[in-house]
Amino acid sequence: MTKPPHSNPGRSPAGRTRLQPEVAPAVTHDAVVIVPGIMGSELYDVLTGQVLWGLAHPQWLARAWLTRDGLTPLHLTPEEQAGSLGRVQARRLLRTPAWSPFLRGIEPYHKLTRAIEETVAAPAAVMPFPYDWRLPVAVNARLLAAEARKHLERWRRHPAHAAARRRAVDEREGRLVFVAHSMGGLVTQAALTLGFDNDLSADTRGVMTLGTPFRGSVVAANILNSVQGAPLPLPHGRLAALASSMPGVHDLLPRFVCLEEGSGARRLTPSDVGALGGDEELTKNSQEFFARLSGREMPGHRSVAGIRQDTLQSLRLENGTVLASEYCFRSHTDGELRRDENGVARRFQAWGDGTVHRDSASLKPGAVPIALQHGALASGRAARQTVADFLLEEEDLGPDQADEGLGLTVPDYVTPGTPWSLRITGTDDPGGIDCTVAAVDGGVRREVRPYAGGGDALSADVELPAAGLYRVTVEADRLPSPLTQLVFAGDAGTGPAEG
């Protein structure tokens, strides 16, 4: 058999070396701002020199959530409530996994940051924007607008910008691209559209939001209700006591039709929030703010929405207690609820990312659907690839299509030595499903065997040996990215917060 002639594109027919044309690197010359979600920034008390939020080792988590005064330094002081800020600084993005009741696992942002740094012309093009998530979205939006402007001006003066610009379409100047997770998308929307910097929107090429609750989340109502609802583990009461005076949590309350009443449903009012344990004045302020923000579109916006995860979408109030459900209500174009032949509001299953249901995360049609939990939407491989692709676009090519996804449901709080179950939805075949539970600090790793649990779902039984923070991981050939969720194992204390 005759071998085909060897081809060496680096040499001419006469054997002389020929220079190859330069291949432009796959990077963007734009400036990128990373805006984390609630509890995604490390908070530091400048008066005491202590880190108030951001240490994730089990001893710190146990002290914060299970002792009387563990969260006291995070409470807003009367001076902070009056607008005198400065005691608490947000120093950097969360670097290690953390945990909170209801919000569950809060994954760090180093994987996302690294993926973005590999997609820009130089690391100086990337600016993380940590912020004090206890405060109103409006306060942090004003700060973000100012810092984003400074970042863009610094980057445009950078030598790497000048070099990368020569490879861009029309050799245009670099602009801003925002990558925002969860609450960070609300902060970004306000920063770009409420006039803090009238030129900032024009200087922005695009915004990608990851699991942003544009219409709020029922989880926020559950958080506020824990202080007066049925007996719950201590961490839930601790969070409620902290959140009841925290504007940031009130800014996450659902602003869509979600409160069931009789045969219909309506939006929450400030008095409803007061009845379930929140602050009426903070709710009123929040609703007025989001009325100003409503309908304001961000330039080049593309949203990523988590799918296939069991997610709270509506609620009932019974004697001051929130009873939340995993279905939502939808309206016609005239705003009237869709009803059945008997006049009863129809219920719809929208799923979501475990915290934000899909309808809320999709500000407009065309959201990119990814089967990940809320905390992993900024760290999962599929999400990171989606962000990198967005950064490299010269033209708007539209969102990727989602693969069929699986869902993962786990308790947010368990006790060591007590059996509990996790649930994998979207399949009843355990073949090809690998599930592990591992301590975040690396001390424990266990494989668990899923089994058919009835319906289109699998179950797996777990028992953890000691207190700590654990990560559940589900991998399958059909998943573009592993499903993960954090679980906190603590003592068996129950009851409301003690102050």
DSSP 3-state of 225: helix
Average pLDDT of the segment spanning 109-119: 96
Residue 338 is assigned to a structural domain of this protein = no
Residue 27 is assigned to a structural domain of this protein = no
Residue 423 is assigned to a structural domain of this protein = yes
Q: Residue 228: is its pLDDT beyond 70?
A: no
Which residue matches tokens 């602009």? 175
Residue 482 is assigned to a structural domain of this protein = yes
Rounded CA separation 11/9 (Å): 6
* Predicted TM-score of the model (pTM): 0.89
Average pLDDT of the segment spanning 460-466: 95
Rounded CA separation 467/444 (Å): 11
Which residues lie closer than 8 Å to 91 by C-beta, 6 or more apart?
Answer: 41, 42, 43, 44, 130
Domain count, the chain: 1
DSSP 3-state of 397: coil
In 112-189, DSSP assigns E strands to 126-128, 176-181
Residue 330 is assigned to a structural domain of this protein = no
Q: Residue 25: is its pLDDT beyond 90?
A: no
From 81-85, 306-310, 338-342, 454-458, the region with the lowest mean pLDDT: 454-458
Average pLDDT of the segment spanning 378-396: 87
CATH value at residue 470: 2.60.40.10
Residue 223 is assigned to a structural domain of this protein = no
Residue 58 is assigned to a structural domain of this protein = no
Q: Residue 33: is its pLDDT beyond 60?
A: yes
Residue 459 is assigned to a structural domain of this protein = yes
CB 228 within 8 A of CB 237: no
Instruction: Please state, in angstroms and as integers, the Cα–Cα distance from residue 182 to each residue in 230, 250, 329, following that order.
Output: 28, 14, 22
Rounded CA separation 203/174 (Å): 9
* Percent of residues in the chain assigned helix, strand, coil, to nearest 5: 25, 25, 50
Rounded CA separation 211/354 (Å): 10
From 129-138, 198-207, 379-388, the region with the lowest mean pLDDT: 379-388
User: Which range of residues forms the domain containing residue 439?
Assistant: 405-491
Identify which has the larger pLDDT, 17 or 199.
199
